[in-house]
């Protein structure tokens, strides 16, 4: 049997030429999608969020989340009155400051309908995580992990110790905060319980030297002292990257790192007053006038008996159900 002289057959180009000479096929246009099935792209408007900017660009299918201990302060309590006094002094010294945590409480009328009450409660948040970001399939796993932690924790008491100024990671906002004294060790144990779950989801742990706190007011910082400002800008000596509240999803010109687009900076500065930092006299003044009261057991002590996780717009909470025996063995 004769072997073929060539392993491959070389076809002539006549077929290609025939195809090239033939009529060109017109591409058919696909029909437009119905507007009802198009997912709108979020458009952020800083004017709706007091000048706050999105710290992390929006990613479809990704949910911002964080874990915290809620502290509900009711009207008529000593702590509520103290916070009112502190905020009045703060507003005098920092007119650009915004109050945190004031919400309208609800009650039912004689017909059983929920109505707004003129009496307002403050819900303050003691953060246990940085802002974290979950994919849709991770939400349930994260919720169940927080629920298990709550089932093994026993309630405890904590108390405030002092006032302080803190900043967020992006250096876009300064916060007036009440720092926790008693209860710090128990809160550290909660961080240790959260750590394996965060690591399994490839999320960052809380700060290595945490300063547990609740924030009661905030102010926008000058743009040139933010994370995108001059690299040689010195941080304020009281600044601490420990505030984990997620920045408002509020900017219409986000750059790749989530800061304000260049074209929008002058607009922001004009409409939303900014400060380089809180006045240097604010914290000493508050500690001198109110420090003894805020650190007293009668006023500054509170129960830690519930843990909350907010995922997107959804909020889930679980009471602590463990005993002292469970706490030791966990």
Q: For residue 45, how many other CB atoms are within 10 A of its CB? A: 10
14-329 sits in which CATH class? alpha beta
What are the tens digits of pLDDT across the range 3-19?
554 444 444 444 455 44
Helix (H) or strand (E) holding 64: strand 62-73
Rounded Cα distance between 120 and 111, Å, is 22
pLDDT given for residue 259 in this prediction: 32
**Which position among 58, 98, 137, 213 bears the catalytic label?**
213
Rounded Cα distance between 274 and 251, Å, is 16
What are the tens digits of pLDDT across the range 13-54?
444 554 455 556 666 676 665 655 555 555 554 444 444 455
Give residue limits of the domains in the chain.
Answer: 14-329
Most confident of 29-33, 45-49, 234-238, 323-327: 29-33
Q: Which of 282, 177, 276 is nearest to 235 (CA)?
A: 276
Q: 97-106, 181-190, 198-207, 293-302 — which is least confidently predicted?
A: 97-106
CB-facing half-sphere around the CA of 26: CA atoms within 13 A: 3
**Which position among 49, 125, 277, 298 bears the catalytic label?**
125
Task: Judge whether 213 counts as a catalytic residue.
Answer: yes
Rounded Cα distance between 225 and 1, Å, is 85
CA dihedral 113, 114, 115, 118 (to 10 degrees): 140
pLDDT given for residue 276 in this prediction: 87
What are the tens digits of pLDDT across the range 140-156?
999 999 999 999 999 99
What string of DSSP letters covers 227-293?
Answer: TTS-TTPPPPTT--EEE-PPPPS--SSB-TTSSB-GGGHHHHHHHS--BSSS-TTHHHHHHHHHHHH
What are the tens digits of pLDDT across the range 102-136?
887 766 555 655 555 567 899 999 999 988 999 99
């Amino acid at each position: 049997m004769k072997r073929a002289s060539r392993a491959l057959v070389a076809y002539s180009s006549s077929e290609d030429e025939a195809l090239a000479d033939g009529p060109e096929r017109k591409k058919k246009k696909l029909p437009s999608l119905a507007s009802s099935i198009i997912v709108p792209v979020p458009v952020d408007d800083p004017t709706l969020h007091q000048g706050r900017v999105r710290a992390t660009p929006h990613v479809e299918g990704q949910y911002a989340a964080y874990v915290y201990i809620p502290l509900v302060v009711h009207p008529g309590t000593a702590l509520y009155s103290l916070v009112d006094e502190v905020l009045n002094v703060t507003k005098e010294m920092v007119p650009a400051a915004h109050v945190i945590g004031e919400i309208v409480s609800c009650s039912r009328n004689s017909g059983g309908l929920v109505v707004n009450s003129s009496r307002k409660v403050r819900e303050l948040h003691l953060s246990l995580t940085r802002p974290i970001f979950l994919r849709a399939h991770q939400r349930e796993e994260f919720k169940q992990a927080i629920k298990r932690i709550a089932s093994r924790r026993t309630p405890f008491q904590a108390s405030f110790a002092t006032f302080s100024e803190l900043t967020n990671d992006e250096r876009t906002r300064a916060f007036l905060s009440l720092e926790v004294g008693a209860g710090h060790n128990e809160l550290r144990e909660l961080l240790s319980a959260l750590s394996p779950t965060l690591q399994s989801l490839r999320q960052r742990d809380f700060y290595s030297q945490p300063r547990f706190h609740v924030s009661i007011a905030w102010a926008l910082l000058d743009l040139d002292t933010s994370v995108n400002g001059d690299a040689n800008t010195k941080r304020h000596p009281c600044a601490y990257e420990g505030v984990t509240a997620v920045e408002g999803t509020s900017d219409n010109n986000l750059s790749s790192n989530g800061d304000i687009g260049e074209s929008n900076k002058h607009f922001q500065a004009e409409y939303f007053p900014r400060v380089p930092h809180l006045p240097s006299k604010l914290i000493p003044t508050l500690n001198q006038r109110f420090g003894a009261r805020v650190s007293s057991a009668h006023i500054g002590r509170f129960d830690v008996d519930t843990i909350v996780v907010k995922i997107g717009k959804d909020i889930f909470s679980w009471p602590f159900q463990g005993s002292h025996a469970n706490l030791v063995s966990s």
